[in-house]
Each structure stands twice: as structure tokens, then as C-alpha cells.
Amino acid sequence: MKKITLTFLIFLLAFSFTYAQEKQKKQKQNKNLPTPLIEVMGGMGLSSVAGSLSSTEKRLTGLFGAGATIPVSAQNNIHVELAYTFQGFKYKLPKTYVVDTVTIDLKSAEQRFNYVKLNVMDKYFIDKKRTFYVNGGFYLAYLSQARFQVSWDTKDEKLEELDEGNESDFKTFDFGLNAGVGVRLGNKQASNFTIEARLSYGLINVAKPAADGRTFNEHNIYGILKFGVDIPVWE
């Protein structure tokens, strides 16, 4: 099922780009549109969750991927990305526990999510030189991996660790909104270095009910500073 879903997302990205590219070629015969752009990217940021789980902290995360920008006018564009993102959150818990007369010193506890994410956005350049832009749209994300990781010390100073997969505790798909601002630096006729600050907010409660019947309401929050290089498809 995971392989089928991943294949579908890749196919959807390729189809969207091919369709938009063919449409743009036809439009270019009648309009002087800018050339489409292919982008490779990576970045780092902070992620957490918003909702009923109050004892959480942000964790440092990242992403990598590729995208395409298809002009529909001189300044307005459709931007599509396929990215692999590292998300999740840290638990903000007491540092010391006593379990069966044994004192435990908690070192760290965090929940990690890895998503395959399809972003579809409207990208609008606010200047005629196509240097500064704003964008907004939606994302569809597929949970490829979820892991709970915790480490602690006992009174004999022995470090203990737990690292286990828990995909069954969370929903397979997430859907939400994106918004960002960015800048392109370089020769507009060749490759350009791009910098973008983006915020994503999940509209779906990603937490499943617990085995004891308790329910949680958790939505992904993801802020990223993205760096990329875009290359014109043709002149």
C-alpha cells in the first residue's frame, strides 16, 4: 500500500508538470510568458503539533525535494513540489520519575514523523523582474514513518533507550495549508538561488484514538527556511 501511494504521488507530480508545460507552450504562442522553472531544494526549520497535547516542544527538522514553477501570466504561476520532510515534536516532561522505588532521570523524549509531501501553490511575483514573491496553497502528505524515541538514566547511571515505530498511532494522510514569502537571487536567464520562509498548518487531526479509548486532537505545524536552485526549462 505504501509503495502504491508513493508511486501515485510521483505520477501526480509528473502529470501535473507535463500537462501544465504543454499548456504553457501553447499559450506562449500568443503570449510572451516567462519560461517554466525546475527547482531542487532543501531546508531546515521547526515543527510541532497544536491541539490537546499541551506538553510539547518544537524540534529541529528538515526537508529535501524538487519542484516546478509554471507561469500562467507575467507574474502569476502555479508551483508544484514533491518533498520528503522530517517533522514531529518533543515531549516537555518532568525530568525525574520514581517507578517501583527506582529513580529515573529522563534525558529526552520525542515523536518523529517522516512525510512524503505534495505541495500545490499559487506563486505570485510582486515585481516585474520576478525577484520577490509570495505563495500560498495546500499540501497532501503521506506518513512514511513514525517513531517514538526516549532515553533515560537510572540511579546506577546506566543509559537506557527506546526507539520503536508507532505508525499505527497516527493517520496515514495529512492535508493542510501552506503560505510563504521568498526571493530569487542571480541571473534571471540562467540558474537562480532561492530563499523562502514558509509555514504549513495541518487541517486534519493526525492522532488516532488510544487503545484505552482516549482521544487526542493534534494538527501538524511546520515552519521551514527553504533554500533552492531553479533552472529555466527553455529560453
Residue 199 sits in a domain whose CATH number is 2.40.160.20
For residue 69, give Cα distances in angstroms to 16, 98, 118, 194.
Answer: 11, 56, 14, 13
Q: Domain span at residue 135? A: 2-90+112-146+167-232
Q: Would you state the cell numbers that stand for residue 140, as one nine-digit string?
A: 497532501
69 beta partners: 37, 79
> Is 125 inside any structural domain?
yes
* Phi, then psi, of 26 in degrees rounded to 5: -65, -40
| Amino acid 150: pLDDT | 87
Q: Please report which confidence band the pLDDT of residue 184 belongs to, taking 50, 70 and 90 as the band edges.
A: very high
Percent of the chain surpassing pLDDT 70: 80
> Is 106 inside any structural domain?
no
> Is 138 inside any structural domain?
yes
pLDDT digits (tens, 9 = 90+) for 44-81: 999 999 987 767 889 999 999 999 999 999 899 999 99
> Is 174 inside any structural domain?
yes
Distance CA 74, CA 201 (A): 29
Mean pLDDT of the chain: 84
> Is 225 inside any structural domain?
yes
| Amino acid 23: pLDDT | 53
Domain count, the chain: 1
pLDDT digits (tens, 9 = 90+) for 191-216: 789 999 999 999 999 999 888 888 88
| Amino acid 91: pLDDT | 85
Distance CA 224, CA 199 (A): 6
- The secondary element (H helix, E strand) that includes residue 20 is helix 2-28
Residue of 32, 24, 65, 42 lying closest to 233 (CA atoms): 24
> Is 83 inside any structural domain?
yes
pLDDT digits (tens, 9 = 90+) for 101-115: 667 777 788 999 999
Number of H helices, E strands in the chain: 1, 11
